[in-house]
Amino acid sequence: MKKTRVDRKFSELKKSGEKGFIAYLGAGDPTLEDTVDIVLRLEDAGVDVVELGLPFSDPLADGRVNQEAAARALEAGSTFDGVMECVAKIRERSGIPMIFYAYMNPLLSRGFDKSMVAAAQAGIDGFLLLDLPFEEAGPYRQALKQNNLNAIQLITPTSPDERVEKIVKRASGFIYCVSREGVTGVQDKLAEGAGALVDRIKEKTDYPVALGFGIGTPEQARDAAQLADAVVVGSAIVQKFHNNPHTPEGRADAAAFVAEMVKAVKAV
């Protein structure tokens, strides 16, 4: 498998001694056209990787903020093909690494292999498949590999060591470390066991480990960056762009909020 933009970005970060910043965004929220603009603004804010949520009607791993973002995207008419066109438009103007945060149903309903081909052609670098059990992932992981797409793997606080070892052996790109039990959403503080979980993962793999779920302030982002190779921020960014006016000024203010978190991560 050739190196993806994600692989190359993490290699660059390692060489420079920098921590990575991954920003989550619901594709199609508020519209697909707006998504193009927001991704470009995130890149300008210093974001290293963009994680695009593929809209789905039943996002069971997500809290209220990201559930509502998916609902808004679907109400605005976002479709699988529309999201692919959106990614292609971003690719006309940017080489920022992008992965899909996705559930299996929309991919299986149109044919998983067909979905992977379309995503790769649009310019996506990998997938984080939220509801695909490790034990059933073999054939799907092969389709990802055939299309030169990273298979980003999730590891949670409830994952025993033996399972962690199996998961990291089949991963590519980076490991997504879920900082706490439960769904996405901003929390008051970083989960107490997050550092220990990152250490457990890093004992078993050389892949970068990104810490996410619950991070919403520059202080929390900084604390997470001290534990892991990269930090993932989602709900706080989604909410900021949603609450701000959908104007150039409103978008600039939301992007400045992201830039402050990026700055905190890069200072570690």
Enumerate the active-site residues. 51, 62
Q: Which helix (H) or strand (E) holds 40?
A: helix 32-44
Measured CA to CA, the distance from residue 169 to residue 141 in angstroms comes to 12
Measured CA to CA, the distance from residue 168 to residue 175 in angstroms comes to 7
Measured CA to CA, the distance from residue 147 to residue 254 in angstroms comes to 34
Chain centroid to CA 16: how far? 22
Measured CA to CA, the distance from residue 50 to residue 232 in angstroms comes to 9
First to last CA, the chain: 32
Measured CA to CA, the distance from residue 268 to residue 264 in angstroms comes to 7
- Considering only CA atoms, which of 172, 156, 167, 256 is closest in space to residue 211? 156
Q: Which helix (H) or strand (E) holds 104?
A: helix 104-109
Measured CA to CA, the distance from residue 215 to residue 50 in angstroms comes to 16
Q: CB of 163 within 8 A of CB of 198?
A: no
Q: Which two tokens stand for residue 206?
A: 């050389």
Q: What does the DSSP 8-state code read for residue 17?
A: T
